[in-house]
């Protein structure tokens, strides 16, 4: 049975891990906003018209998002693997939050800017921002948090995996809420990405609380003590082997020769 502190740590791992897959799901579920931004300028601003007559940019958006985000996640995972011994988990997770947060700032600013005459530029900038966010989230934050949770009991790694599977549901519910709140596509996107930014900021604050919590410090100290004990036992065994080797008499070939 987990204690109250252990439950709080479990919930923290669950909520933080959703940020690891949040950006890709965010950009993929913001259909109404991106359909409006990439609409045909000669048609009336009507949702039915926008959906019934999709432009080339509207049709290609999800495809390019999937390709670039997938490549970005791959490079992020490779970077995480190559820097495992050089960068600690805290560095990767905190900078992963920073990558996601910074990529959402210009995304929100685009909701205040008219991009009707630079739709192709808007498309590529949005895809680039999504790729940067995915590099930070899946590559740094997600992989780093999974490795960090491995230092805890197995139940906390289960919380991380559960949170990652919940990310898609969370963004879908957020999209439904924003569409129910307003029918204005620009306001919809503005609210959608603003809530996502607040979530990312809260996730970063929650992680700082996690690494400073007494329970986490106790787990880390236990791990350090266990590692130190294992190292001491290893050194003791090596010293014992050296002493044993020194006590063994040297046997020369002459001892087996003929005795006169």
Q: Are residues 165 and 56 in the same domain?
A: yes
> What does the alpha-carbon distance between residue 75 and residue 70 come to, in Å, rounded to a whole number?
9
Phi and psi at 115, nearest 5°, equal -115, 20
Task: Say whether 2 sits in a helix, a strand or coil.
Answer: coil
In a domain, 248, yes or no: no
In a domain, 238, yes or no: yes
Q: Are residues 129 and 26 in the same domain?
A: yes
In a domain, 57, yes or no: yes
pLDDT at 242 over 80: no
In a domain, 84, yes or no: yes
> What does the alpha-carbon distance between residue 60 and residue 213 come to, in Å, rounded to a whole number?
46
| Both structure tokens of 21 | 């897959």
Question: Residue 229: which domain range?
Answer: 213-243
Q: Are residues 45 and 155 in the same domain?
A: yes
In a domain, 81, yes or no: yes
Question: What is the reported pTM?
Answer: 0.78
pLDDT at 244 over 60: no
Q: Are residues 167 and 204 in the same domain?
A: yes
The total of structural domains in the chain comes to 2
The pLDDT tens digits for 201-230 are 999 999 999 998 888 888 777 754 454 444
Name the range with the highest mean pLDDT among 14-23, 168-177, 197-206: 197-206
Sequence-separated (6 or more) residues with CB below 8 Å from residue 185: 32, 33, 35, 36, 37, 47
Q: Are residues 180 and 203 in the same domain?
A: yes
The pLDDT tens digits for 82-113 are 887 788 888 899 999 999 999 999 999 999 99
């Amino acid at each position: 049975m987990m204690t109250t502190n252990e439950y709080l740590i479990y919930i923290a791992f669950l909520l933080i891990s959703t940020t690891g897959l949040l950006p890709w799901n965010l950009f993929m579920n913001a259909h109404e906003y991106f359909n409006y931004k990439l609409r045909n300028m000669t048609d009336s601003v009507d949702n039915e018209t926008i959906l019934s007559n999709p432009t080339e940019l509207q049709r290609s958006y999800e495809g390019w998002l999937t390709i670039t985000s997938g490549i970005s996640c791959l490079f992020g995972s490779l970077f995480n693997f190559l820097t495992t011994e050089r960068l600690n988990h805290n560095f990767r997770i905190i900078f992963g939050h920073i990558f996601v947060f910074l990529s959402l700032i210009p995304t929100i600013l685009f909701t205040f800017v008219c991009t009707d005459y630079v739709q192709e530029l808007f498309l590529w900038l949005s895809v680039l921002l999504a790729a940067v966010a995915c590099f930070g989230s899946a590559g740094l934050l997600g992989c780093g948090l999974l490795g960090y949770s491995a230092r805890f009991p197995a139940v906390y790694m289960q919380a991380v995996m559960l949170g990652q599977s919940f990310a898609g549901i969370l963004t879908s519910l957020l999209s439904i809420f924003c569409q129910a709140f307003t029918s204005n596509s620009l306001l919809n996107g503005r609210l959608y990405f603003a809530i996502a930014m607040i979530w990312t900021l809260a996730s970063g604050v929650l992680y700082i609380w996690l690494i400073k919590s007494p329970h986490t410090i106790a787990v880390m100290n236990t791990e350090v003590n266990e590692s130190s004990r294992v190292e001491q036992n290893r050194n003791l065994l090596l010293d014992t082997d050296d002493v044993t080797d020194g006590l063994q008499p040297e046997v020369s070939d002459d001892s087996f020769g003929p005795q006169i």
